[in-house]
Amino acid sequence: MLSRRSFVSLFLAAGALLALAARAEEAPDAFIMRISTDVLDAVKADKSIQTGDVQKVIALVDAKVMPSVNFRRMTASAVGRFWRQATPEQQQRLQEEFKTLLIRTYSGALTQVKDQTVDLKPMRSKPEDDDVVVRTEVRGKGDPVQLDYRLEKTANGWKIYDVNVLGVWLVQNYRNSFAQEIGASGVDGLIAKLAEKNKAAAGKP
């Protein structure tokens, strides 16, 4: 017979499983709204982020945003047809450097947050779709900024794999630059270039 304690822990485990399942069932727009609000609230609550403490923003992005991003897919689509020619080590390095680059960009944008709010725009996909675009508008002073996300459904819930700012898909926008670099000096050349870029930016105040 189950002891009282093991019964309780079984109950708790079942509850956790249910919560996980509920998260996987979460609608993509609700998922984006949850993350956006979460991040905006955290930024607004933290004065040191608004004054430009980049390390703090990076920590925030790492904790709240990165778990919801499919970074492997992001990097692979930016690298395009050269991805399969890269060795697993090269793929790993590309992923790390690209991640650093994008986190820094995103963090820079977050330090500009003041009184912004996020509005969802109507979904155009069907509820059963597992690859969708969620459209949002960031409202603050001035014109609203279009901010859209491409999401894929995975076993671990929704994952973001591209972001659109004002009509420009960010990952897609790197494709030509990456191909140009690989064409000139190979995959290792691209890795070196990304690393150099990150190093230069990290050296700045």
Partner 1 sequence: MTGDFHPAWRRWVMALLLLASAGCATVPPGTTQRQQIDPFEAWNRKVFAFNETLDDALLKPVASVYVEIVPPLARRGIGNFYANLADAWSAVNMLLQGKPVTAAEGAFRFSVNTVFGFGGVLDVASEMGYGRNYGDFGQTLGIWGMDAGAYLMWPLIGPSTMRESLALPLNYAASPMYLFHLSFAGQFGVWALQLVNTRASLLGMGSLLDDIALDKYTFVRDAYLQRRRSLLGDSDEPPAPDPSQDDPEAAPATAPKPEPAQ
Strands (E), 103-143: 117-120, 131-139
Residue 14 CB, nearest approach to partner 1 (Å): 33
In order, the DSSP letters of 147-179 are: EEEEEEEETTEEEEEEEEETTEEHHHHHHHHHH
Q: How far apart are CA 105 and CA 99, in angstroms?
A: 10
Candidates 13-21, 22-30, 36-44, 67-75: pick the segment binding partner 1 (CB under 8 A).
67-75
Q: Is 166 a binder of partner 1 (CB under 8 A)?
A: yes
Query: Judged by CB under 8 A, which of 29, 42, 54, 82 binds partner 1?
Result: 82
Strands (E), the chain: 117-120, 131-139, 145-154, 157-165, 168-169
Q: Is 153 a binder of partner 1 (CB under 8 A)?
A: no
Candidates 21-29, 38-46, 54-62, 75-83: pick the segment binding partner 1 (CB under 8 A).
75-83
The binding site for partner 1 (CB under 8 A) comprises 72-73, 75-77, 79-85, 101-102, 104-105, 108-109, 112, 131, 133, 141-144, 150, 161-162, 166-169, 171-184, 186, 193-194, 197, 201
